[in-house]
Amino acid sequence: MFKPTPEKSAAHFKKIHDLESKIRFKKVRAGGVIGDTQNSISSLLNEYESAIQEKRQEVSGGLMEYLENNELPSDILFHALGPEKYYEITHNRTSPYSSMYYGEIGMLLDLADNKSQYIHKNIIDIGCGDGIKVYAMLQEAIKNQKIEGTVDYLGLDDSKEMLAFAKDNFYKNFYSKTQNKDNNFYISSDDIHPINKKIRPWFKKARFQKIDGLDKMTPKTMLFLWWTFWNLGDFKQGFLDDIKNMLQKDDIFIVSYFRILDQKWFENPDTEELIQNFFEREKKLYEKNNRYYHEKEIDIKNFKNIMPGLNIGHDDFDVHMELDKENNVLYDVRTFKKDIIYQGEVVIPKWSYKSWWTNVNPDALRKQYTQEDPTKTFTESLYATKETEGFIHEFLKFRGVDPQDCFINEEYKTADQTLYITIEAKDRPITFTWEEDAEKKSITKQPGEVITLHKSKRFTDQEMKNLVDAAWLTVVDEIWCPADIAGQDTMKLLIIKKK
């Protein structure tokens, strides 16, 4: 039985890539000649189709094998609930994925405004997802007259569902889609915004290496965004080699990555920033542990102990945290939405009051930060939110597992600089169920078995430079995401050309 692992997944990509290269080479050599050469091509094509089928089994039909090995690739997690859920979690401003999504949009808008010489009229968006990020960049560049004429945008993705969603999203947001008598859709050019008339979008379900003539299309800008670079596993170097083969002299390749934060930046951070970071971490911990709900429960119990029969519930007041920056004090605030009446009298008026407070000591915080791994601290606090937990809950329910039977953990391991989101059965077994080829399947995991649902690696700037150099490419410029913590940028865009 096939047992998938990250190493085998990368090996599948390499096998497919090597076979594609051999087929292209044989076709060039064949030049219309039949016989042994043609038979050799047919043999390679058969082998190639088998490799594709094996990879397809790994991603879509290999859930049993992945669960047996206690590790799922991220695409199974994110594709399982469909593109609408992906769109929801990336556009919900309180979601950690949203902060990364909009951080990347910010970098692309910076590119459009200040470094538009790297944006050519042929755009290839590899792993386009919903396509909105790159499209926003193009709109910004055209609006500010940084690009003249018409731009061709090609969105590539391996998910047909995501491509269908992206196409519909484009027409809904940027174009007027009209239905004719033959039930076909066409674009009504009179209703298109002048900016969008200058962008011609098209989408394709394919890997960029398989599109004939793409290497000859020039000048072009190719983009590889989000955390997709990490998903390549050990195929990262092979991927960059392929990019090199696609680039002509004036072409540009842009890739984004998550950075490892530099410890020395935390030796003397600004006091105000220290306090603000502490405040943000505390809020996220409250949300993660549903502390606001529990604080309300405690308050209601106390009120009713003092005033038996008092009519008060969760909807009558809010609990939140408030930071007094001037005095470095963190308050727990109650805001009552109405007068609370007991035995005919107003016992709690409609107002806000600070129930308890904590003095925040900058020196103690500075010592704490310098002793911690800043990347670990920041990354774990970024993901440890109720939005992440809610998304995992939906995935588990989708696979027949009761989320209440699982522990959900977010841990950043410094050994490989990777964030792991895992689940573990609590005190009784959990059973995953799904359908595969019209057959119902299931697998049971015992308490103590830890299943990895998602991994996200961080890179040092030197690691990324070494990967680029090894592919005979060169970094010509870079753009930073607005600083997230201690004046450091957690994401970066590298602008790359062929040497």
Q: What pLDDT does 356 receive?
A: 61
More confident residue, 60 or 101: 101
What's the mean per-residue pLDDT of the chain?
A: 76
SS3 of residue 354 by DSSP: strand
Mean pLDDT, residues 361-368 taken together: 70
User: Is the pLDDT reported for residue 39 higher than 60?
Assistant: no
SS3 of residue 65 by DSSP: helix
Q: What pLDDT does 69 receive?
A: 81
SS3 of residue 40 by DSSP: helix
Per-residue pLDDT band for 329 (boundaries 50, 70, 90) equals: confident
Tell which residue, 129, 176, 175, 174, has the closest CA to residue 155.
Answer: 129
Which residues have C-beta within 8 Å of that of residue 424, sequence separation ≥ 6?
406, 407, 409, 447, 448, 449, 450, 451
Tell which residue, 164, 25, 153, has the closest CA to residue 86.
Answer: 164
Taking the C-alpha atoms of residue 7 and residue 429, their distance in angstroms, rounded to an integer, is 28
Taking the C-alpha atoms of residue 385 and residue 373, their distance in angstroms, rounded to an integer, is 20
Mean pLDDT, residues 400-429 taken together: 91
Please report which residue ranges of 372-456 form alpha helices under DSSP H: 374-383, 386-398
Mean pLDDT, residues 11-37 taken together: 50
User: Is the pLDDT reported for residue 253 higher than 90?
Assistant: yes
User: Is the pLDDT reported for residue 486 higher than 80?
Assistant: no
Predicted structure pTM score: 0.68
Sequence letter at residue 185: F
Tell which residue, 199, 213, 203, has the closest CA to residue 248.
Answer: 213
Q: What pLDDT does 192 receive?
A: 57
Characterize 347-364 residue by residue with b for buried, 16 or more Cβ atoms within 10 angstroms of its Cβ, and e for exposed.
ebeeeeeeeeeeebebee
Taking the C-alpha atoms of residue 209 and residue 204, their distance in angstroms, rounded to an integer, is 12
Strand blocks (E) in 280-339: 317-324, 329-336
User: Is the pLDDT reported for residue 410 higher than 70?
Assistant: yes
Highest mean pLDDT out of 134-143, 162-171, 226-235, 344-353: 134-143
Which residues have C-beta within 8 Å of that of residue 416, sequence separation ≥ 6?
457
Per-residue pLDDT band for 483 (boundaries 50, 70, 90) equals: low
Q: What pLDDT does 328 receive?
A: 78
Digit-coded pLDDT (tens) for 176-218: 544 444 444 444 445 556 777 788 888 888 777 777 778 788 8
Query: Could you tell me what percentage of the chain is helix, strand and coil, using 3-state DSSP and rounding each to the nearest 5?
Result: 45, 25, 25
Taking the C-alpha atoms of residue 394 and residue 403, their distance in angstroms, rounded to an integer, is 8
